Amino acid sequence: MAEQAPEPSITVFVKELMISPVLTIRIDATVAEAAKQMLLNRVGSVVVVDENGHYAGLITERMMLPEESLIPFMRGKAFRVLGREIGNFEMIEETMAELSSYAVGEVMSTDHPFVPPETHMGKAVELMVSKNVHHICVVENRLPVGIVSKHDLLKLFFIPTDGPSARALL
């Protein structure tokens, strides 16, 4: 007989740790507008919505900032911004200026994981790790109702075994 995993002794749901209301931007907004919203609100992602306010995807600072290329022979000589390989770091200003007018819908992640509010935090963490993402949108009836970032996981250190929920503590 296969051994079953033990049930968690503390049950924390995504709705208890999520940040709500969630910062959203329309799919036809520009990358520059998304960057401005992230800076003004001091967040690392913006949830992208369609004309009906339905979840369409996510755009993150990680997508918008230079990262080292994964091409082994180019390591240190190329970087990537919004999925584009750029071969010259001296062109960073021109590259980002050009990309700033792109529509968010052209560059957002459409396969970013999302979960309903009643999801156990363990499942959300598993998704973050397996998909290598720092943010998970919380969606209910196709509408974004919150977001959980890896930073929000720090709240798990403050959950008592009895007493108020994590949200009540913070």
Question: Which domains are seen in the chain, by residue range?
Answer: 14-169 (3.10.580.10)
According to DSSP, residue 103 is labeled B
Q: How many helices and strands in the chain, by DSSP H and E?
A: 7, 9
How confident is the model over 7-66, as pLDDT tens digits? Answer: 545 678 999 889 999 999 999 999 999 999 999 999 989 999 999 999 999 998 888 776
| pTM as predicted | 0.76
Residue 30's beta-bridge partner residues? 103
Helices marked H in 42-91: 61-64
Look at residue 79 in the predicted model and tell me its pLDDT. Answer: 58
Residue 24's beta-bridge partner residues? 47
Contacts of 52 (CB under 8 A, 6+ apart): none
